[in-house]
Structure 1
Amino acid sequence: MNDKNIQVATFGGGCFWCTEAVFQEVKGVANVVSGYSGGHVPGHPTYREICSGLTGHAEVVQITFDTNVISYEDILVIFMTTHDPTTLNRQGADKGTQYRSVIYYHDDAQKEIAELVVKEVAPYYENTIVTEISPLDVFYEAEKEHQDYYRNNQTQGYCSFVITPKLAKLRKLHADKLN
């Protein structure tokens, strides 16, 4: 990979374990790191603090990808179609501001593309899209046990009942973009 073709995207679509598992299957994605962004308390938050809902952080993933293989627009279309961007602070049974749908853009070009993609996918949803589009301030990497969560815990209940169906949807909708 040529460094000038490498970009970073940061967004949250509910539990970061789900979003991480989705993007680990996408062609051109070199790395996926689970973490936290968008909070209002100082310092590096912990998973326990995030789960309290009091820090203002969202569970997010930060994706490093090669634009020669996949575009930022395609990354966002996959993101917007593999979670429910119409539920405020909720994905399935996961409730709280830490599970909000959010795109943290890294520059003005990413902001413009994010706004465009949200408009493009809106007609496919019955309800209004509530995905937040905000500038990235700080990304905090989550604890080690949250990295590669699905790969390391596929037989765990949450993985079987929540993540595996998301991956099936991904494979159905975006087979041409997968490894």
Structure 2
Amino acid sequence: MANIQHATLAGGCFWCIESAFNSIEGVISAFSAYAGGQTANPTYEQVCDGTTGHAEVVRVNFDADKISYRDILEVFFALHNPTQINRQGNDIGTQYRSEIFFHDNEQKKVAEQIIDEIELEEIWSSPVVTEITALNNYYQAEDYHQDYFSKNPQNQYCNMVVAPKLAKFKKKFASLLKS
């Protein structure tokens, strides 16, 4: 019986984050979604206009007997720049913020520990701005956003942003990839 747990993470465009997590051993599924805002059942267009308070997030469903929450967060911090406020590269707005939405107090504790370690090790030249918040107002994104990168490899954004990010990720985390 699998020890299924969930992580909900915001680190810029959800297409990038989702694609990476779906390629990791122990991850059962990763879905693009929205969380943290006040608008019920938001659309992509509403989230993009920046008035809903929601972030683009990825819900990672994983087998904790195969990969730990800590490992999930270490991948998360390697996939984006956690020192940028409300942006990742050219994606700008509160919907692209860096945020960990914890599901329980143990996840909150692990997230705080990892951020403390990152700061102590001075991995980034600027302070980490990743927010740690209890999961609230979670909504799965529209179907066309799910597994977007693999379904739309010809998309210009995917070619210019997602593909290079995934290539770098796969090189760094080769030992974690599904065979």
Q: CA deviation at 1:112?
A: 0.2
Deviation at 1:154, TM superposition (A): 1.1
Q: Is the 8 A contact 2:38 2:137 kept in 1?
A: no
Question: TM-score, normalised to structure 1's length?
Answer: 0.96
**2: CA distance, partners of 1:47 / 1:103:** 20
One-letter amino acid of the counterpart of residue 154, structure 2: T
State the percentage of identical aligned residues.
49
One-letter amino acid of the structure 2 residue matched with residue 48 of structure 1: E
1:100-179 mapped onto 2 (5 Å cutoff): 100-122=97-119, 123-179=122-178
CA-based RMSD of the aligned residues comes to 0.9
1:17 corresponding residue in structure 2: 15
Q: List structure 1 runs of 4+ shifted beyond 3 angstroms.
A: none
Q: CA deviation at 1:176?
A: 1.0
Q: Secondary structure at the match of 1:62?
A: strand
The one-letter amino acid of 1:98's match is Q
* Length, aligned pairs only: 176
Q: How far off is 1:121 after superposition? A: 2.3
5+ residue gaps, structure 2 = none
C-alpha contact (below 8 Å) 1:82/1:170 kept by paired residues: yes
1:80–1:121 contact (8 Å) kept in structure 2: no
CA drift of 1:65 comes to: 0.2
- Show structure 1 runs of 5+ residues with no match: none
Which whole-Å CA distance do the structure 2 matches of 1:142 and 1:153 have between them? 16
1:65 to 2:45 alignment: no
TM-score of the two chains, using structure 2 as the length reference: 0.96
Partners of 2:174 and 2:115 in 1: CA distance: 21
Q: Matches of 1:97 and 1:151 in 2, distance apart?
A: 26
